[in-house]
Chain A
Amino acid sequence: MSHSFDDISAQLKGRHRRTKRLKFMSMGALALAATFLVVFIGDMVMRGYPAFQQAELHVPVTYSEQSQEIPLAAVEEDVRDLVSRGWLRQLPRDMAADASLMGQTIDRWVIADDQVDQYLKGHKSHLKPKQTAVLDRMIENGTAELKFNINFFTTGDSKLPEYAGIWSAAMGTILTLLVTLAFAFPVGVLTAVYLEEFAPDNRFTQAIEININNLAAVPSILFGLLGLAIFINFFGMPRSSPLVGGLTLGLMTLPVIIITTRSALRSVPDTIRQAAFGVGCSRWQVVRDHVLPLSLPGILTGSIIGLAQAMGETAPLIIVGMVAFIPDAPTAITQAATVLPAQIFTWAGEPEQAYVERTAAGILVLLSVLILLNAAAVMLRKKFERRW
């Protein structure tokens, strides 16, 4: 050996330095991922928060027979193209609903056009100089203001950005997820119970297990092809409906629920089962009265996580036609509907800045719900987790 002790000591410094380098590089990688998350969420918030505000104008509205015929006549000429056309279209219906309005002139806040909205938010707008002059005066008088955008939460999709909201998509999401849950939860839990508590360890059981693991890794878009070919073309279920979407997502969520339920069942110690068998319970009685209640928190946690995953899924729903223009909230699972992520996708395709805002705002709502769901799952686990 030609290396003297001093040589080795000298090398050692370099070797330890390399360890340090690896440590910092790996730390950097983690920091990079975390930084991305922060940048990403920051970007979404910056883009999305303006959509929670909407410009409104304080103008005198004349309710007369003329304005019932031609709604434009209800407001003064200089603000006619500043108020939302959607609001003007609604005017005759308002008058029909409330006869006492007739013949009055009321000063009231009115939803503004999306270009006015963009102008007030300091973005680029297509307003003409004359219009901006009127607007500037109104801003000074305090008769043009940004107010909380309640419409975003209470209306469905619209071709007018100032009236586009997430209500119908939210209802669609709820209906779809109800179908998903109604299908995937019982089937998933029963499958897991069978595999964990009843099934003999034979080839059939192994085939099911391998199959479930594969199913968990199949790209989601292929579930969409399945939904299209089987549910819509073969069974003739209505296209774009929460029924088809929910079943498709249910099949996709199934492996998640099965896998988490199995690990929850496995965490119940065998002594519990043996004690129950010892006092003469049948297998089903053991499962129903002891194993299932003890593993319920784990099962629910897994189901919530699976549901959160299904909630953010878009690709299979596009294939089964759930990206449609749906202004009204669906009331049954067989009606055409859209879901939140699909609504986000639709808006993302619109070029107007007002829709970009709404896309990001929709994303913020979706992310908040997902975070809430996941937090609920974590709390559930923390609260009921039992160490045996």
Chain B
Amino acid sequence: MQTQQIFLFFIGIVALAGLVAFFSGRSKAQRVRASGAEMYAQPDQYGWFTAISSAGPALLVGLAAVVAIATADIDIEGMQLLIASLVVAAVGLVIGLALVKPDFHARNAIETLIRYVLIGAAMISIVTTFGILVSIIFEAIRFFQMESFWTFITGTTWDPGNSFQMAAGRGEGVESTANFGAVPLFAGTFMITLIAMLVAIPIGLLAAVYMAEFAPESVRTVAKPVLEVLAGIPTVVYGFFAAITVAPLIVDIFSPLGIEASYNNALAPGLVMGIMIIPFISSLSDDVITSVPDTMRQGSLALGMTHGETIRNVILPAALPGIISASLLAMSRALGETMIVVMAAGMRPNLTANPLEDMTTVTVRIVAALTGDQEFASAETLSAFALGLVLFVVTLLLNMVSVVLIRRFREKYSANNL
């Protein structure tokens, strides 16, 4: 039988078991009730209970079978699975029906079950985090068994060389020439992030000041969503824009000055990324500035400060933790941004301070390592996970600091809207 047919049959069995159980459970409860006994729950609730006790275990059997087939390579015949689930459903039905008695709390039983289902759903997000951590750490450990951690962190040459041949067993007699020094990648990432922040912080912050302090309500209601649009544009679109419009523009601007810029220069992705993260800074800063208590504004104005001086000397210092928090959040976004740099930045690891040269980033190398035709076990492929680990740790730290800062701000001014 085809997998699809088995699946359909399985769903059919579960649905049928549920229906049969619901109606038989309910009718038994109705009969008991009609005979004059006082019951703890409504007949419908007994019906639901029997439905769950019959279809639930059958569903679990199916799930267990899928997991077993996928992970442990256990061969399970479709027919066996169907019969097993049918048997389990029947047993569940019998037990469920036996429990339909006047002194049985069907509603509470359902309630408990639902609580477990909800906890299970909530656990998925925790499992996801652990999944990311475990999957990255395991592969990264395999990488660090091949290459030393110290050269990875401090080495200045990134050149996967012939590592893929070594992994394929064709490296006999050839000296491994691979070098995995990630410093040029870190430097490239840092340079592009720096450019992005230099664009985004002034523009984002000033836009936030305008919206929070100067703008009339009508401008505010239009400007806020317009800025949000910037954050909603897919990054692949920004990447295309950076590569096809901004990068040639930069080359054209600098060539009359006698400065030669690479078409994969770091400036183009940096600028475009900066524009992308403006809304991250402006929207959070706007919230922070508006939640600085009005008493501080009034106090400052009463002392004879102008509006501008109030903003500069009172409001911005008070809002500083929130603004820094917003900037850190935006920075972690810029560090992990992939598509813009994949499309517009270079592929060549290049340790330089000149933003007009091409340089590459951590995320670019991750993509490059995982889209080639290499063996999965090669050092180059695994290096992606080592880089991913660094990225994860750095962005996590930035987020943590950002959360702590914003919490301090919130406690200090008891601002509840953050």
| A312 to chain B: closest residue by CB | B234
B235 to chain A: which residues have CB within 8 Å? 312-315
| A29 to chain B: closest residue by CB | B206
- The distance from the CB of B47 to the nearest CB of chain A, in whole angstroms, is 15
**A191-B136 contact, Cβ under 8 Å, with A30-B211, A34-B226:** no
| A314 to chain B: closest residue by CB | B236
Given A214-B400, A348-B240, A363-B240, 19 extra CB contacts under 8 A? A12-B306, A15-B308, A20-B308, A23-B308, A29-B202, A29-B204, A30-B206, A37-B229, A219-B335, A221-B391, A229-B135, A229-B138, A230-B135, A311-B234, A313-B235, A314-B235, A315-B339, A323-B371, A341-B339
B264 at the interface (CB under 8 A from A): no
A359 to chain B: which residues have CB within 8 Å? 240
Interface size grouping (class) on chain B: 35 or more
B366 to chain A: which residues have CB within 8 Å? 221, 225, 319
Q: Is the CB of A345 within 8 A of B207?
A: no
A226 to chain B: which residues have CB within 8 Å? 128, 131-132, 135-136
Contact with B along A183-208 (1 / 0, CB 8 A): 00011001101110011000000011
B237 at the interface (CB under 8 A from A): yes
Q: How many residues of A contact B (CB 8 A)?
A: 89
Q: Which of A67-75, A111-119, A268-276, A366-374 forms contacts with chain B? A: A366-374
A33 at the interface (CB under 8 A from B): yes
Q: Is the CB of B124 within 8 A of A254?
A: yes
A293 at the interface (CB under 8 A from B): no
| B225 to chain A: closest residue by CB | A378
Q: Is the CB of B309 within 8 A of A15?
A: yes
Question: How far is A295 from B199 in the complex, measured between Cα atoms in Å?
Answer: 39
Q: Is the CB of A219 within 8 A of B309?
A: no
Q: Is the CB of A27 within 8 A of B131?
A: no
A26 at the interface (CB under 8 A from B): yes
| A8 to chain B: closest residue by CB | B304
Q: Is the CB of B338 within 8 A of A37?
A: no
Question: How far is A47 from B241 in the complex, measured between Cα atoms in Å?
Answer: 10
Find A217's partner among B131, B132, B332 (CB 8 Å cutoff).
Answer: B332
Find B308's partner among A19, A33, A208 (CB 8 Å cutoff).
Answer: A19
Most buried by A among B125, B306, B307, B311: B125
Q: Is the CB of A233 within 8 A of B376?
A: yes
Find B236's partner among A36, A229, A237, A345 (CB 8 Å cutoff).
Answer: A345
A25 at the interface (CB under 8 A from B): yes
| B222 to chain A: closest residue by CB | A34
- The distance from the CB of B274 to the nearest CB of chain A, in whole angstroms, is 10
| A21 to chain B: closest residue by CB | B308
| A374 to chain B: closest residue by CB | B232
Question: How far is A208 from B364 in the complex, measured between Cα atoms in Å?
Answer: 31
Question: How far is A16 from B306 in the complex, measured between Cα atoms in Å?
Answer: 7
A190 to chain B: which residues have CB within 8 Å? 117-118, 121-122
Find A229's partner among B136, B211, B396, B400 (CB 8 Å cutoff).
Answer: B136
Most buried by A among B115, B202, B240: B240
B234 to chain A: which residues have CB within 8 Å? 311-314, 341, 366, 370
Q: Is the CB of A33 within 8 A of B203?
A: yes
Q: Is the CB of B307 within 8 A of A19?
A: yes
- The distance from the CB of B18 to the nearest CB of chain A, in whole angstroms, is 17
- The distance from the CB of B215 to the nearest CB of chain A, in whole angstroms, is 8
Q: Is the CB of B309 within 8 A of A208?
A: no
A277 at the interface (CB under 8 A from B): no
| A18 to chain B: closest residue by CB | B308
A15 to chain B: which residues have CB within 8 Å? 306, 308-309
Q: Is the CB of B275 within 8 A of A214?
A: no
A-B contacts, 18 listed (Cβ < 8 Å): A23-B214, A29-B202, A29-B205, A30-B215, A34-B223, A36-B275, A190-B121, A211-B129, A218-B396, A221-B336, A221-B338, A221-B366, A222-B132, A284-B110, A284-B114, A344-B237, A348-B244, A360-B240
Q: Is the CB of B125 within 8 A of A225?
A: no
| A33 to chain B: closest residue by CB | B278
B8 to chain A: which residues have CB within 8 Å? none
**A282-B107 contact, Cβ under 8 Å, with A208-B126, A233-B376, A319-B367:** yes
Question: How far is A225 from B383 in the complex, measured between Cα atoms in Å?
Answer: 12
Contact with A along B200-224 (1 / 0, CB 8 A): 0011111101110111000000010
- The distance from the CB of B400 to the nearest CB of chain A, in whole angstroms, is 8
Interface of chain A: mostly helix, strand, loop or mixed: helix
Q: Is the CB of B124 within 8 A of A187?
A: yes
Chain B residues packing against A (C-beta within 8 Å): 70-71, 107-108, 110-111, 114-115, 117-119, 121-122, 124-126, 128-129, 131-132, 135-136, 138-139, 202-207, 209-211, 213-215, 223, 226-227, 229-230, 232-237, 239-241, 243-245, 275, 278, 282, 306-309, 311-312, 329, 332-333, 335-339, 342-343, 363, 366-367, 370-371, 376, 384-385, 388, 391-392, 395-396, 399-400, 403
Q: Is the CB of A282 within 8 A of B128?
A: no
B396 to chain A: which residues have CB within 8 Å? 214, 218
Find B210's partner among A23, A212, A215, A219 (CB 8 Å cutoff).
Answer: A23
Question: How far is A262 from B381 in the complex, measured between Cα atoms in Å?
Answer: 39
A16 to chain B: which residues have CB within 8 Å? 306, 308
Question: How far is A45 from B235 in the complex, measured between Cα atoms in Å?
Answer: 17
A44 at the interface (CB under 8 A from B): yes
Q: Is the CB of B308 within 8 A of A194?
A: no
Scan residues 283-331 of chain A and give those whose CB is less than 8 A from a CB of chain B. 283-284, 308-309, 311-315, 318-319, 323
Q: Is the CB of A222 within 8 A of B388?
A: yes
The 7 closest A-B pairs by CB, nearest first: A219-B336, A312-B234, A19-B308, A229-B135, A26-B210, A29-B206, A190-B121
**A26-B337 contact, Cβ under 8 Å, with A211-B129, A315-B235:** no
A234 at the interface (CB under 8 A from B): yes
A57 to chain B: which residues have CB within 8 Å? none
Scan residues 24-76 of chain A and give those whose CB is less than 8 A from a CB of chain B. 25-30, 32-34, 36-37, 40, 43-44, 47
Question: How far is A234 from B226 in the complex, measured between Cα atoms in Å?
Answer: 43
B209 to chain A: which residues have CB within 8 Å? 22, 26
A30 to chain B: which residues have CB within 8 Å? 206-207, 210-211, 215, 223, 227
Question: How far is A350 from B388 in the complex, measured between Cα atoms in Å?
Answer: 28
Q: Is the CB of B207 within 8 A of A33?
A: yes
- The distance from the CB of A305 to the nearest CB of chain B, in whole angstroms, is 9
A217 to chain B: which residues have CB within 8 Å? 329, 332-333, 395, 399
Question: How far is A187 from B226 in the complex, measured between Cα atoms in Å?
Answer: 31
B226 to chain A: which residues have CB within 8 Å? 33-34, 37
A164 at the interface (CB under 8 A from B): no
| B338 to chain A: closest residue by CB | A315
